[in-house]
Every structure is written in structure tokens, then in C-alpha cells.
A and B are shown apart, each in its own frame.
Chain A
Amino acid sequence: MSATQVLLEARRLDKRFGGVAALADVSLTIRRNEIYGLIGPNGAGKTTLFNVLTGLYEPDGGRFEFDGINLIGLKPHRVVGHGIARTFQNIRLFGNMTALENVMVGRHVRTHAGALGAILRGRRTVAEESAIRRRARELLDYVGIARHSQALSKNLSYGDQRRLEIARALATEPKLLALDEPAAGMNATETADLRRLLIKIRDDAVTVLLIEHDVKLVMGLCDRVAVLDYGRKIAEGEPAAVKNDPEVIRAYLGGALP
């Protein structure tokens, strides 16, 4: 595997909360243009790992490189600038803004107009503003909720809110799109739609990191999978191999007593 194929390389990440080791010695490698799944029982440390990768938490040990750059210690808004965008397990949209406005906020990190530009409203600001609006419309269309562009995001259906969060994250032009349980609470049809959307995103050259409880979705969709249990990585590889790993089966189903 050549170095240019690697998008994110995490080495021996540690994160403790008091006496609880939320992450212990976790290493993983995410390659470009793959859908990488992260599974594990509740409390296994999946979301903690997410928060470390997106700058919300600083790890107690270890390091990770994203696209050849060390991002540890950077604030979340800087991490987005380097190309990691995320969604949240409990949807965090800007509820009282319209769907379109939500996605327009996502363009913030790739645009520049400041206070002076806003007040003087010169040609460049006007052009940037209309480009933001145009791109936001395209993205709503891309995830399939263009018809709701003027609806308040808090009034959208659950599945559409999940899609809107993905559109908002895509607006930041990420190299890695990190999704925290995007299928949670979705019915079978919505999950199937989500699956098609994620494949489309990968085929458009955005790498996807997926935390998911729905093992069937992960196994059918992901190119590679890692399994966390009690903050440790117990398996990594292609879904078929991981599925039959005895440690994974033990973690999920409980093994025989020693």
C-alpha cells in the first residue's frame, strides 16, 4: 500500500476520562475513496474516537496524520478546514434556519467575506454570496431534499434531517466525511436510500468514515471495517473476514466463560 493511498493514519491513540479508558492504544488506517466502517457495542469508544479525529477532544496519547498533516491539538473549526467534516449522533442542525441556510453555513469555511465585506457589499462579496447560495442548492439536490430548501430544518422528517446534515457537511468540501450513526432511527426504505447516497458520495471521490450500529448495513456497504470494544480495536479488515473473527463474535454475542 503506497503512502498516497492512505488518507488518515492513527497511531496508538489514548483517551481517558478519569479512570475510564475510552480509547486505549487504537491504531487504524483509512485509505482514499473507501467507505470505512467503525462498529462496536455501546460504549466501545466509537464516538470518542470521532471526537478526537474532529478536534473536539485532544487525545492523551498517540498521534494521527490526515493527508500527511498532524491535526492533533487543532480546534474543530481548523480541522474542518483541513478536510474532515462530520455529522452528529444526535442530529445537531440549526433548527430555526431553513434547510438552505443550514447548508449555506456549511460553506463558511471555504468562503471569506468578513464584516467589512458584508457592510460595503462590494462586487466580490455579492459574487461570493450568490456562489454560496448556488452551491447550497446543488447540495440539497444532491442529497435529494431540494424540495424542502425553504423549510425550517427542525420541521423536516427524521430521514431528511439526516440527509440535510450530510449536505451541510459536504458543503465544507471534505476529503473525509465522518458520519456518526446516520442510519439510527431510520426505517428500511430510508436506510436503503442512505446506502445509495453513501455509495454515490464515495464514487464522487469523498472518503467516508461510518460509525454504525446496523451491522447489516455496515457489512454490506463498507470496504473495510474496524471493531472497537472497551476502547480497544479488536479487529480490522474486510467485512467478510471481520464477521468471522472469534473476538468480534465474543464481543457482540458474549463468549464462553474462561
Chain B
Amino acid sequence: MIFSHPAAWFERLRRHPAAARAGIALIAASLLVLPFALASVGTAWVRITNLAILFALLSLGLNIVVGFAGLLDLGYIAFYAVGAYCYALLASPHFGLHLPFWLILPIGAAVACLFGVLLGAPTLKLRGDYLAIVTLGFGEIVRIFLNNLSQPVNITNGPQGVTPIDPFTLGAFSFSRSDTLLGLNFSGPIKYYYLLLLVLLAVIVVNLRLQDSRLGRAWVAIREDEVAAQAMGINTRNVKLLAFAMGASFGGVAGGMFAAMQGFISPESFVLVESIMVLSMVVLGGMGNVWGVILGAILLSFVPEILRYTVEPVQKAVFGHMIVEPEVIRMLLFGLALVLMMLYRPAGLWPSTTRKREFIDAE
């Protein structure tokens, strides 16, 4: 229901503010209880949820570049890598530095932002396929650098990666330790869950506000017609760079949190497939629409995990042995989902109103 007519559904809620408030309260309450419900099934599911939220953060960052400004970026994971390595190098025994997380996260965001400008500046005149190829190359260059910057001076520790990375700590409060409060066991992943939820909320607010602003309109104008946008006094160079820089800094923050949660990072986590995965989340959910993008991130994060836990037992129960590996089923379903989407919902599961207009020929 909600997926077929989200706009109408929202409109109905707008006319019944009490129902909307009750709905929001219900969602908030279930999000607060969720980690405990998941922990009762297995702590692994809390970790999976945390990764899903991280991917939602990444997708929202990429949404600024691809969804709002229409700049196709296939190397977005590089900014995630930059943020993660910033955190890892400044909070691990590798250099013997152990700076507090509230200092490193902004540094990571700033460095990622710088890399965003570094990528944006030479590609200002490129669009579409050409931009996609250059960004793809950029993502690979960053990964290869991370892989090889172990000599002559060991900066990244090469393919072995960096470990152990400090968890987030605030005074005596550590995000990696279990604490019991009010009879509830707050494990490390559960603490990170709440922190991630808070960051996600902030990023959603930032996205929504950008979308509905002078800057947001300028991005859409550039996507629609760059020459006309210039003729309206939009400094297309700065506005595009701003899109790259902001998208990148979101990726940088997500990367820092990833490094702290995992305690270990290596270049292997930042391969091209990850970039494509994040882009798929944005496209599947609905480019340009914050809620659609989050939906895409959640779907593409959870479905593979659910398959991992169900495909094997189901086949064993039905056929007595395993016929198709979960990994194979995952790629099959993924391909099928993309084909079905292109056929029936080309603008995504939950498209933005403007994007929907582009795919539906009104004339």
C-alpha cells in the first residue's frame, strides 16, 4: 500500500495530524525497542542493523550528489575509505595516536570533504557516462593507494589493514563494553545502534532541509539545464563542488564510525562493488527522495543477510542437501529485482516527486 501511493498516504496523514503524531511515536518507540528484540534473536542481527544504518548514511550522502545534483558518482566508497582510514590512523597503535572520537570524526569529514573537492574540481565539465568513468577511476585509485602506501613509509599498513582501532569512548563510558542499566543489558552493538540512529536522524534533517532550500533548487536547476541555471546567476562550479564536498563529508563520517565499530579495516572493504551497492540503494529506493533512499539501503542490507540464514536450512529441509549457494541466490534475486524495477518502477520504489515527473511522460 505504502509503496504504491506514498504521496497520497502522506497527504492523508497531513490531514490528520493526530494520527501522524501517533504514527511517529509508534515508529520512534519501535526503533528504541528494536535492538533488544534483535539481540534476543542474536547479537549478529544488531550488528547487521548497524551496518544497514551505516549504508543508509552513505546512501543519503550519495543522494546529495546523484539524487539532487544529478552527478553520477561511481567512486563514492572512496570517501567512506578516507573517513575510515582517518579514524583508524588517528586512533590505533599503528601511529600510537589515540585521539578522542569527537575530534577525529570532524577531521575525517573535513578530509573526505577535501577529497570530494579534489574529485569535483577536474570533473566539473563532465556529465553522465564520462563523469561516471572518472569517478570510478577515482574510487579505484584511492583503494590502490591504501593498498600500497605501506612503503617506503608505512602509512596505511597495506593489505594487512589497521587493527586494533579504538572504539568510541567518552570518559569512562565505552561503546565497546557491555553495561547493565535498569536491568537491561546494553551490549556494545546496542550502544552503537543508538548513536547511529542519532546520527542518521541528523543526516535526514540535513538532507530534508537542503532539498527544500535555495541551494537545493540550484542543484535541481543544474540537473535540469546547466546553461539556463547559469543564466539565472547560479555559479555552477561552486554549487557542484558543494554537492561533491557535502556528499563526501557524509561518507567520511560514516567511514569513521565504521572503523570504530569494526575495530579493523583494510582496503578490501572499499572495493568498487561497495560503490555500486550504495548507488543501487539510492537508485532502487528512489533517487532524490530521502525516505526512498533509506528504504533502499535497508532492503539491500537486510535481504542478503536474511537469505544467508534461510536459504541453507530451507533447501536442506526440502531437498535434503544444498543445491544453490546463498551467494548465488542473492545475485540472482538482485538481478531480478533490478530488471523488475526498470520495468515497473523506473524512478525507484519510493521516488521523489520531481524524479517521478521525469519518468512519467505527462504529455
Q: Is A26 an interface residue (CB 8 A)?
A: no
Q: Within the assembled complex, what's the spacing in Å between the Cα atoms of A246 and B231?
A: 37
Query: A97-B354, A108-B232 in contact; A115/B215 too (CB < 8 A)?
Result: yes
Determine how close the nearest CB of chain A comes to the CB of B216; give it in whole angstroms.
7
Kindly identify which residue among A88, A105, A115, A128 contacts B217, using a CB–CB cutoff of 8 Å: A105
Give A110-141 as 1s and 0s: 1 = Cβ < 8 Å from B's Cβ atoms: 11011101110100010011001000000000
Determine how close the nearest CB of chain B comes to the CB of A110; give it in whole angstroms.
8
Kindly identify which residue among B214, B231, B358, B363 contacts A129, using a CB–CB cutoff of 8 Å: B214
Q: Is B114 an interface residue (CB 8 A)?
A: no
Q: Is B142 an interface residue (CB 8 A)?
A: no
Q: Is B210 an interface residue (CB 8 A)?
A: yes
Of residues 152 to 190 in A, which have CB atoms within 8 Å of B's CB atoms? 152, 154-155, 168-169, 171-172
CB-nearest residue of chain A relative to B225?
A92
Count residues of B near A (Cβ-Cβ below 8 Å).
Answer: 32
Q: Name the segment of B18-26, B132-140, B233-241 touching the other chain.
A: B233-241
List residues of chain B with CB within 8 A of the CB of A97: 217, 220-221, 224, 354
Kindly identify which residue among A105, A113, A118, A152 contacts B221, using a CB–CB cutoff of 8 Å: A105
Determine how close the nearest CB of chain B comes to the CB of A121; give it in whole angstroms.
6
Give B337-355 as 1s and 0s: 1 = Cβ < 8 Å from A's Cβ atoms: 0000000000000000011
Q: Is A93 an interface residue (CB 8 A)?
A: yes
Kindly identify which residue among B214, B215, B228, B242 contacts A94, using a CB–CB cutoff of 8 Å: B228
Q: Is B4 an interface residue (CB 8 A)?
A: no
Q: Is the CB of A172 within 8 A of B209?
A: no
Q: Is A31 an interface residue (CB 8 A)?
A: no
Query: A101-B217, A105-B217 in contact; A115/B234 too (CB < 8 A)?
Result: no
Q: Within the assembled complex, what's the spacing in Å between the Cα atoms of A249 and B236?
A: 44
List residues of chain A with CB within 8 A of the CB of B224: 94-97
List residues of chain A with CB within 8 A of the CB of B228: 88, 92-94
List residues of chain B with CB within 8 A of the CB of A117: 213-214
Determine how close the nearest CB of chain B comes to the CB of A149; give it in whole angstroms.
15
Q: Within the assembled complex, what's the spacing in Å between the Cα atoms of A168 and B232?
A: 8
Give A78-92 as 1s and 0s: 1 = Cβ < 8 Å from B's Cβ atoms: 001100011010001
Q: Is B51 an interface residue (CB 8 A)?
A: no
Q: Within the assembled complex, what's the spacing in Å between the Cα atoms of A109 and B206?
A: 23
Give B201-231 as 1s and 0s: 1 = Cβ < 8 Å from A's Cβ atoms: 0000110011001111110110011011111
CB-nearest residue of chain B relative to A109?
B233
Determine how close the nearest CB of chain B comes to the CB of A101; give it in whole angstroms.
6
List residues of chain A with CB within 8 A of the CB of B246: 115
Q: Is the CB of A118 within 8 A of B231?
A: no
List residues of chain B with CB within 8 A of the CB of A119: 205-206, 209-210
Q: Is A207 an interface residue (CB 8 A)?
A: no
Q: Is A33 an interface residue (CB 8 A)?
A: no
Kindly identify which residue among A105, A107, A132 contacts B229, using a CB–CB cutoff of 8 Å: A105
Q: Within the assembled complex, what's the spacing in Å between the Cα atoms of A119 and B215?
A: 10
Q: Is the CB of A108 within 8 A of B217?
A: yes
Q: Is A199 an interface residue (CB 8 A)?
A: no
Kindly identify which residue among B217, B221, B363 contacts A155, using a CB–CB cutoff of 8 Å: B363
Tell me what chain A mostly uses at the interface: helix, strand, loop, or mixed.
helix
Query: A76-B230, A80-B231, A97-B224 in contact; A105/B218 too (CB < 8 A)?
Result: yes
Q: Is the CB of A114 within 8 A of B232?
A: no
Kindly identify which residue among B209, B229, B231, B233 contacts A121, using a CB–CB cutoff of 8 Å: B209
Count residues of A near B (Cβ-Cβ below 8 Å).
Answer: 43
Determine how close the nearest CB of chain A comes to the CB of B101; give it in whole angstroms.
22
Q: Within the assembled complex, what's the spacing in Å between the Cα atoms of A111 and B235?
A: 13
Q: Is A45 an interface residue (CB 8 A)?
A: no
Q: Within the assembled complex, what's the spacing in Å between the Cα atoms of A108 and B210?
A: 15
Kindly identify which residue among B205, B209, B232, B242 contacts A105, using a CB–CB cutoff of 8 Å: B232
CB-nearest residue of chain A relative to B243?
A115
List residues of chain B with CB within 8 A of the CB of A94: 220-221, 224-225, 228-229
Q: Within the assembled complex, what's the spacing in Å between the Cα atoms of A97 and B24?
A: 30
Q: Within the assembled complex, what's the spacing in Å between the Cα atoms of A56 and B231?
A: 9
List residues of chain A with CB within 8 A of the CB of B233: 77, 80-81, 108-110, 172
Query: A105-B217, A152-B362 in contact; A96/B235 too (CB < 8 A)?
Result: no
Q: Is the CB of B234 within 8 A of A105?
A: yes
Q: Is A39 an interface residue (CB 8 A)?
A: no
Most buried by B among A92, A105, A171: A105
Q: Within the assembled complex, what's the spacing in Å between the Cα atoms of A172 and B230?
A: 12
List residues of chain A with CB within 8 A of the CB of B236: 77
Q: Within the assembled complex, what's the spacing in Å between the Cα atoms of A130 and B358?
A: 27
Query: A113-B213, A118-B210 in contact; A108/B218 too (CB < 8 A)?
Result: yes
- Leading 5 A-B pairs by shortest Cβ distance: A109-B233, A118-B213, A94-B224, A80-B233, A92-B228
Show 19 A/B contacts (Cβ-Cβ < 8 Å), sorted by A: A75-B235, A92-B231, A93-B225, A94-B220, A94-B225, A94-B229, A96-B357, A96-B358, A97-B220, A101-B217, A110-B233, A115-B210, A118-B209, A119-B205, A119-B206, A132-B214, A155-B363, A168-B232, A171-B232
Known: A86-B231, A168-B232. 20 other contacts (CB 8 A): A77-B232, A77-B236, A81-B233, A88-B228, A92-B225, A92-B228, A92-B231, A94-B221, A96-B220, A96-B358, A108-B217, A113-B213, A115-B215, A115-B246, A119-B205, A119-B210, A121-B209, A121-B213, A129-B213, A152-B357
Using a CB–CB cutoff of 8 Å, the interface residues on chain A facing chain B are 54, 56, 75-77, 80-81, 85-86, 88, 92-97, 101, 104-111, 113-115, 117-119, 121, 125, 128-129, 132, 152, 154-155, 168-169, 171-172
Using a CB–CB cutoff of 8 Å, the interface residues on chain B facing chain A are 205-206, 209-210, 213-218, 220-221, 224-225, 227-236, 242, 246, 354-355, 357-358, 362-363
